[in-house]
């Protein structure tokens, strides 16, 4: 296998092997890009996760290219010739080429799976001025570019060339052998200090592939845990969001929690002992969830807070720079979990419960349902609220109040609320009964 930056000369990386992994359309897309690079006289490599996943025989259409040349100009030229749009990040020397139907037709890619966008980067190295700070980047060789990466398994590059010759694997960290040995290993000892987001990434990849973190890597990872405190909320949020989109987030969460990593994010961030069970239940409900992984991740965000008080939850949300809307929803979720005894108490009327739950988002409610599934009385009331009570409306409205000669003011809301409560509590069941009750209320006011 390739090592010390040498090319792997095994004939394994043939078009057929790539075809098996990526499918005909994606291979045609790669061929178009390669021919373009050839014509421009630019060396181009397929790198990172897609190469790792080819070794693992896992489907991955996230095409990341690194080139020894100006990636932005290269992507712009592709868009000029074939169509689509580019999104440039000049500071990093990277560009995304976003394909549209016209570009797909022009390249005759067929109807197979292709990515919606393709990433191009100029080969670069990174210099970290301070632990956990964003690095300064400089152009480099492909070998230099691979050495800046997080783990050996992600530091693989395929040099792709036009024509049918076998592609060459560049593997400076022996990533291929770590994939076969199921190991997560960093490329240098300062890796986690430079960028502690790699701590989250290490556990995410370990869980996804059922790999183990190699012992030397595990030791330097543990030493770098306090540096997590220096990471911006946005960067931690991004990592947690990726974890919540994994197939088994609870395993990663348990690993991170065992190392007290949540407490590094905020001292009151603690994970519930039952959280694994809650994530399992979330998975059972997944087929019914709308919105795919966004919806699952949103629910997951709530479950992370299932043993946290509302006041602490708001501080943690601020630390993670969560949107105001998500923070409010999570705060409502913690409020709801703190009120389950009250919700289940038979003396509390449906209308009182409705008033309380009206202030809580539907995602928070669904997450709370996952947590309270074993509490029959509470679950029943939350389900009744979602399916029935919250939809109840009065037939009488403001116009009826004006017609009845009442002076506009807080009394309007009071009367309408009382009428809605009467519907919800089953005290009235017909429009005639509603009108009768309404007239009684009007007479009382007068
Ligand atoms: P996934 O399958 O989860 O998308 P990926 O390996 O494709 O995983 P990305 O986050 O898309 O991961 O990053 C692409 C590549 O960039 C990685 O394979 C890795 O080589 C490199 N990389 C990403 N994040 C870091 C980091 N924090 N430090 C160093 N290298 C990184």
What value does the mean pLDDT take over residues 386-412? 92
Query: Worst-scoring range by mean pLDDT, 131-135, 299-303, 319-323?
Result: 131-135
Q: Are 303 and 286 in contact (CB under 8 A)?
A: no
Taking 50 as the threshold, does the pLDDT of residue 151 lie above it?
A: yes
Report d(CA 241, CA 298) in Å as an integer.
Answer: 9
Report the separation in Å between the CA atom of 229 and the middle of ligand 1, taken as the mean of its atom positions.
Answer: 22
Query: Ligand 1: which residues within 6 Å by Cβ?
Result: 48-49, 62, 64, 149-150, 154, 195, 197-198
Q: What's the confidence (pLDDT) of residue 376? A: 86
Q: Is the pLDDT of residue 3 over 80?
A: no
Q: How confident is the model at residue 332 (pLDDT cuts 50, 70, 90)?
A: very high
Q: How far is the CA of 372 from the centre of ligand 1 (A)?
A: 37
Residues 30-63 pLDDT 10s: 989 999 998 999 999 999 999 999 999 898 999 9
Within a 13 Å sphere around the CA of 101, how many CA atoms are in the beta-carbon half? Answer: 0
Ligand 1: centre distance to CA 185 (Å): 14
CA atoms within 13 A on the CB side of 282: 32
The answer on pLDDT for 1 being more than 50 is no
Instruction: With a cut of 60, say whether residue 209 has pLDDT above it.
Output: yes
CB 444 within 8 A of CB 411: no
Atom 8 of ligand 1 has which residue's CA nearest to it? Answer: 49
Q: What confidence tens digit (pLDDT) does each residue in 83-117 have?
A: 999 999 998 899 999 999 999 999 999 888 999 99
Does the structure show a pLDDT above 90 at 294?
A: no
pLDDT band at 289 (very low <50, low <70, confident <90, very high): low
**What pLDDT was estimated at residue 11?**
46
Per-residue pLDDT band for 140 (boundaries 50, 70, 90) equals: confident
Three-class SS state of 190: coil
Q: Distance between CA atoms of 244 and 200, rounded to whole angstroms? A: 12
Atom index in ligand 1 nearest the CA of residue 146 equals 20
The percent of residues above 90 in pLDDT, for the chain, comes to 76
pLDDT at 5 over 80: no
> Of ligand 1's atoms, which has the minimum distance to the CA of residue 205?
3
- In this prediction, residue 125 carries a pLDDT of 86
How many angstroms separate the most distant Cα atoms in the chain?
95
pLDDT for residue 24 is more than 80: yes
What residues contact 166, with CB distance under 8 A and at least 6 apart? Answer: 11, 12, 13, 14
What distance in Å separates the CA atoms of residue 365 and residue 362, rounded to the nearest whole number? Answer: 5
Question: pLDDT value at position 92?
Answer: 87
Q: How confident is the model at residue 15 (pLDDT cuts 50, 70, 90)?
A: confident
- Number of helical H runs and strand E runs in the chain: 24, 12
Distance, in Å, from the CA atom of 333 to the CA atom of 319, rounded to the nearest integer, reads 18
pTM: 0.91
> Taking 60 as the threshold, does the pLDDT of residue 227 lie above it?
yes
Higher pLDDT, 278 or 287: 278
Ligand 1 atom 26, closest CA? 150
Q: With 60 as the cut, is the pLDDT of residue 7 above it?
A: no
If we measure between CA atoms, which residue out of 98, 101, 37, 47 comes closest to residue 70?
37
| Residue 290 pLDDT | 57
> Of the residues 52, 150, 151, which should be mutated to test ligand 1's pocket, given the most ligand atoms within 8 Å of the CB?
150
Q: Is the pLDDT of residue 145 over 60?
A: yes
Given this model, what pLDDT does residue 12 score?
64
Band the pLDDT of 291: cuts 50, 70, 90.
low
Mean pLDDT of the chain, nearest integer: 91
Return the residue whose CA atom lies nearest to atom 12 of ligand 1.
49
Residues 285, 370 contacting (CB under 8 angstroms) = yes
Can you tell me the distance from the alpha carbon of 342 to that of 347, in angstroms, rounded to the nearest whole number?
A: 9
Sign of CA dihedral 403, 406, 408, 414: negative
Q: Please check whether residue 361 is in contact with residue 328, taking contact to mean a CB–CB distance below 8 angstroms.
A: yes
> Residue 274: what pLDDT?
86
Task: Decide: helix, strand or coil at residue 56.
Answer: coil
**3-state DSSP call for residue 164?**
coil
């Amino acid at each position: 296998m390739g090592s010390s930056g040498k090319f792997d000369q095994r004939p394994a990386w043939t078009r057929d092997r790539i075809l098996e992994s990526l499918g005909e359309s994606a291979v045609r897309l790669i061929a178009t890009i390669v021919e373009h690079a050839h014509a421009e006289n630019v060396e181009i490599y397929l790198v990172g996760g897609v190469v790792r996943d080819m070794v693992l025989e896992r489907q991955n259409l996230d095409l990341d290219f690194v080139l020894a040349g100006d990636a932005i100009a290269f992507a712009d030229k592709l868009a000029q010739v074939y169509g689509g749009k580019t999104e440039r990040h000049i500071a990093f020397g990277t560009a995304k080429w976003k394909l549209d139907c016209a570009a797909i037709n022009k390249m005759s890619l067929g109807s197979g799976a292709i990515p919606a966008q393709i990433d191009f980067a100029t080969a670069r190295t990174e210099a970290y001025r301070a632990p956990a700070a964003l690095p300064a980047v400089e152009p480099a060789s492909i070998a230099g570019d691979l050495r800046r990466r997080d783990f050996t398994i992600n530091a693989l590059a395929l040099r792709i060339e036009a024509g049918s010759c076998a592609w060459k694997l560049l593997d400076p960290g022996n990533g291929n052998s770590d994939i076969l040995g199921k190991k997560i290993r960093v490329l240098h000892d300062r890796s986690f200090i430079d960028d502690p987001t790699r701590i989250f990434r290490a556990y995410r990849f370990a869980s996804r592939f059922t790999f183990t973190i190699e012992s030397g890597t595990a030791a330097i990872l543990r030493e770098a845990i306090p540096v997590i405190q220096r990471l911006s909320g946005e960067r931690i949020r991004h990592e947690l969001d990726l974890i919540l989109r994994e197939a088994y987030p609870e395993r990663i969460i348990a690993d991170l929690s065992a190392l007290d990593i949540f407490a590094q994010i905020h001292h009151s961030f603690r994970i519930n002992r039952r959280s694994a069970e809650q994530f399992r239940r979330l998975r059972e409900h997944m087929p019914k969830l709308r919105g795919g992984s966004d919806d699952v991740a949103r629910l997951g965000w709530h479950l992370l807070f299932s043993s946290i008080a509302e006041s602490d939850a708001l501080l943690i949300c601020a630390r993670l720079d969560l949107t105001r809307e998500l923070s409010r929803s999570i705060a409502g979720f913690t409020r709801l979990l703190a009120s389950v005894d009250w919700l289940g108490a038979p003396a509390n009327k449906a209308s009182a419960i409705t008033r309380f739950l009206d202030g809580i988002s539907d995602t928070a409610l669904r997450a709370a349902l996952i947590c309270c599934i074993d509490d029959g009385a509470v679950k029943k009331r939350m389900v009744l609220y979602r399916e029935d009570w919250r939809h109840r409306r009065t037939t009488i409205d403001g116009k009826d109040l004006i017609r009845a000669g009442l002076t506009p003011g807080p009394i309007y809301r009071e009367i309408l609320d009382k009428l809605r409560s009467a519907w919800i509590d089953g005290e009235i069941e017909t429009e005639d009964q509603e009108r009768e009750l309404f007239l009684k209320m009007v007479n009382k006011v007068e």
